[in-house]
Chain A
Amino acid sequence: MLAMNYRGPFRIRADRDRPFPEIEHPEDAIVKVTRSCICGSDLHLYHGLVPDTRVGTTFGHEFIGEVVDVGSSVTKVKVGDQVMVPFNIACGKCAFCKQEMYGMCHEANPQSTAAGGIFGYSHTTGGYHGGQAEYVRVPYANVGPTVIPDWMDPDDAVLLTDVVPTGYQAAEMGGIQEGDTVVVFGAGPIGIMAAKSAWLFGAGRVIVIDKLDYRLEFVKDFAQCEVYNFTALEDPVVFIKKITDSLGADVCIDAVGAEAAGDTMNTMLGRKLLMQGGSTTALHWAINSVKKGGIVSIVGVYGPIDALVPIGNVVNKGITIRASQASVKRLLPKMIEHVKSGTIKPKEMITHRIPLEEVAEGYHIFSNKLDNCIKTVLIPPSA
């Protein structure tokens, strides 16, 4: 079958001789992929920043498709169902799944106890092949896969498998109270959804900070928020204090993660020398821009090793930090409801539709922010 094949940092290709996935567990399903996305966090793999990313792995944790085979214990989906597959691989039985923390399942990842299982996201999250392929193995098919409602556009459905719930949970973890000022660092797809979602929790003001004007223009329209380009600011933290009555924002959201720009030292240590788990610039700004007693919500992805953060300021300001991989299964019913009511229109974020055969071009465009790229969807030839 045709599938994306990682060959090393900045080097990928689509190979036609990749083996078909097989049922390896009674709760497995095999899904014929109809759409998959390139996620901003896939770029961390593509750039070689995530340890234990093995050559030959297929990436892709945002995908939808048709069930074409099921294991003997699968009862919740059947062959022929069109399903959206949450990026978390979750058993539904462990202590963490039972607490609805499906992003932290303890029965899906041998390699790390910190992270749960994720499709196509290195051996640090379980060593699964991902959905940037024609077919993919989906473990725990009684738990994750959700049948796509008849009325839902597949382009909306594929974005419900990660980016929409992750952005929503970023706002949810912010504990936003009515009238709060919320600053979102990062105008990528997750930041865009976090800004949009902040209003749903009753924010009084939503501000987005990024360095790319085209993305800021997009989020300004999509999420009806204030936008500022940090490259035009001498010091983003001072600027945010200035525009928030000198006290800071009630809630700051880090929707950037490991590849933040804006600070030379962090860029060198985190992105070039790989001496810490990513560049922590956005997190620095979030901690230092939030009001005393405020909340910092982190959904940006970082590597597993140490990273520099101003922990003294966290203590002195009494900040609550909340962070998590999104619990997609928990949030899906609400996200479906919001799409149905027209409150959220995810597919408006899709700027590029690329054949799976041209996956290398798709990654290069997204990685280098070419052609005003915001969200890329890969379409397999058999879809």
Chain B
Amino acid sequence: MIGDQTKPEDFKNERGGDHSHIKGWGIDRDPKNDPTYPMKHRTDEEIEGYTWERPEQQPVNIEVLHSVERPNIPAVFGTAQPPEGLSGAIRRFAFKYSESSYGRWLPLVMADRIGEIEGIVDDLKKGHIPNLFAEHGLKSEWKYNRKKFVLKSAVTAAALAGVLLFLTRDKKD
């Protein structure tokens, strides 16, 4: 690796250099590639506004939160995990705000964290005890990064032991 001690004169930019050893060099070069192309193939569509022939509407059989920046629900949408519980109530609140507002995004982050707790409760209700070792993929940590695994385990065990000792101390002392 080259470090910070490199001198500028060690390098030269190579315009017109020989790149014949690189397969495909220059085959897609395009001198007309200006800052609006290729992201946009210009048409008059936008000038006409929200007037395109819309695809058929997917039936709305679940609660779909939609941005206040659009007038409707798009023709198709995902049906994964409709809002429910406390996290769902927070999401409904968040969707009252626009995408340019912290009022939209910060409550959603909070709802995600509450959703995690709701997920654990839901698992327990179904008789499923989450296997945190497996869910964190720690088998691979043991396999490929054993030193760090042992160190982290030791620190965690020490911290837990400390908390346990603190909680079970004789309060008369």
Residues of A within 8 A of B (CB): 7-13, 24-28, 48, 51-58, 73, 89, 91, 93-95, 98-101, 106-114, 117, 123, 126-129, 139-140, 172-173, 175-179, 181, 197, 199-202, 204-205, 213, 216, 224, 227-229, 232-235, 238-239, 242-246, 274, 295, 303-305, 320, 322, 324, 327, 330, 334, 338, 341-344, 360-365, 368, 370-371
CA A75 – CA B48 in complex, angstroms?
Answer: 29
Is B78 a contact of A128 with CB atoms below 8 Å? yes
B173 at the interface (CB under 8 A from A): no
CA A11 – CA B106 in complex, angstroms?
Answer: 21
Is B2 a contact of A178 with CB atoms below 8 Å? no
B59 at the interface (CB under 8 A from A): yes
Which of A140, A216, A370 counts the most B-chain CB atoms under 10 A from its CB?
A370
B17 at the interface (CB under 8 A from A): yes
Please report whether the interface of chain B is mostly helix, strand, loop or mixed according to DSSP. loop
Is B78 a contact of A322 with CB atoms below 8 Å? no
B31 at the interface (CB under 8 A from A): yes
Q: How far is the CB of B123 from chain A (nearest CB, A)?
A: 8
Residues of B within 8 A of A (CB): 1-4, 6-8, 10-17, 19, 21-31, 33-35, 38-43, 45-46, 48, 50, 52-56, 58-59, 64-67, 69-70, 73-81, 87, 91, 95, 99, 102, 105-106, 108-109, 111-113, 115-116, 118-120, 123, 130-132, 134-141, 144-145
CA A211 – CA B23 in complex, angstroms?
Answer: 27
| Chain A residues whose C-beta falls within 8 Å of the C-beta of B29 in the assembled complex | 176-178, 200-202
- One of B8, B16, B99 near A113 (C-beta < 8 A): B99
| Chain B residues whose C-beta falls within 8 Å of the C-beta of A100 in the assembled complex | 40-41
| Chain B residues whose C-beta falls within 8 Å of the C-beta of A24 in the assembled complex | 58-59, 76, 79
- One of A12, A52, A89, A216 near B135 (C-beta < 8 A): A12
